[in-house]
Amino acid sequence: MEKVKVAVAGVGNSIAYLLKTLSLKNEPKGIWHQKVGGIELKDIEIVAAFDIDERKIGKPLNEAAITEPNVVDLSDVTAGEGVTVQRGILLDEISYFAKDKLRIEKTETPKNIGKVLADSGAEILLLTISSGLQKTSEAYAEQALNAGVSLVNATPSTIASNPAIAKKFEERRLVVVGDDLMSQFGGTALHRGILNFMKLRGISAVKSYQVDVGGGLESLNTMDEDLKELKKNIKTNAIVSEVGDSYEVVTGTTDYVEFMKNKRVSHFWFEAEGLLGKKYTIDLLLTTEDAPNATNVLLDVIRAVKYSMKRGEYGAISEICNFGFKKTPSQKSIELAVREFEKKYCF
């Protein structure tokens, strides 16, 4: 099987865990889909990387992935050891809360991004930069277009769900998928799954809320009020898609606790009605770790993009967007999204 050559923009905790998974000689325990589009994990190769933190730029990727401000504790990361992290793009203001955690000296757009992508042979650019960097995300999308590289947007920035951008990728015979990665078993996925099960059992969901507390740079970044509102709206729209607009839901990250590192605690409360309006309530606490929770989805999405490219499918691919992301061009229920993805890609 030919390799899937991937470049990464943003060498954060999720990339560190992805590299650790790709470094394992045997199939990792708990892998969600062994093959996607007939492609195995060993067929994925990381060929280029970009970041804006001075502590990571110039380092081998496998070393940069475990460099501060990353907080995942990993050993024996060998994937990416031959790749040097290049200076990335930054066209937006970093949030006030995250500034002190980063070491940034230059903010101009490097002129070699497209050349690095082209010279590396990358087929897919995986965008995992910090949330709230819309101009930066668009610049990476433009560089991917110029280099003839497909794009996976794991950030909340509006890229794949922007019809004008999606059309550009389609016209260049490239794939673009996103936006805002949905973790394998994170708060949004669980919230949607419970609502879906209520509907399946004939119970009418009335209202719910979800609040999160976490550590790590992304949780700290979300303390910015504008970014918090953006992510809240994305989560809310994804959740409401399961039950309809009449449903009342409140979501959002509420606080940052540094010693939690990459962990996240999500608290859920649901109210539903059954026969003659009798009430059902659920009070639930979920503890997860962000980086491994993202990795299975990223691995599946990367391989699905490669398979669609081989099939001659371009633009924003519905089955991939709905399977892996919260903000999509056309929302589908979480159950239907997984079923359609597996029917097309898992054989």
pLDDT score, position 251: 86
Per the CB < 8 A criterion, the answer to whether 133 and 230 are in contact is no
CB 48 within 8 A of CB 83: yes
Banded pLDDT at 223 (limits 50, 70, 90) = confident
Instruction: List residues bridging with 297 in a β-sheet.
Output: none
CATH class of 4-182+292-345: alpha beta
Instruction: Mention every residue, 6+ apart, whose C-beta is less than 8 A from residue 40.
Output: 1, 34
Least confident interval from 188-197, 241-250, 273-282, 325-334 = 241-250
When pLDDT is averaged across residues 137-155 and rounded to a whole number, the result is: 97
Question: What is the mean pLDDT of the segment spanning 76-82?
Answer: 89
At residue 1 the predicted structure's pLDDT band, cuts being 50, 70 and 90, is low
Contact call for residues 273 and 279 (beta carbons, < 8 A): yes
**pLDDT of amino acid 110:** 85
| 104: pLDDT strictly greater than 70 | yes
Confidence of residue 130 (pLDDT cuts 50, 70, 90): very high
What is the structure's pLDDT at 296? 97
Q: How many CB atoms lie within 10 A of CB 178?
A: 32
CA distance 159 to 126: 13
The residue written with tokens 């470094």 in the block is 23
**Strand pairing report for 44-51 and 85-87:** parallel
Q: What percent of the chain has pLDDT over 70?
A: 99
On average, the pLDDT of the chain sits at: 94
| Domain 187-289: which CATH number of 3.40.50.300, 3.30.1130.10, 1.20.1050.10, 3.30.360.10 | 3.30.360.10
Annotated domain spans of the chain? 4-182+292-345, 187-289
Look at residue 139 in the predicted model and tell me its pLDDT: 96
Residue with tokens 């691995």: 299
11-41 pLDDT, tens per residue? 999 999 999 999 998 888 999 999 999 999 9
The answer to whether the CB of 52 falls within 8 A of the CB of 87 is yes
pTM above 0.75, yes or no: yes
Residue among 267, 260, 254, 186 at smallest CA distance from 217: 260
Q: Is pLDDT at 202 greater than 70 in this prediction?
A: yes
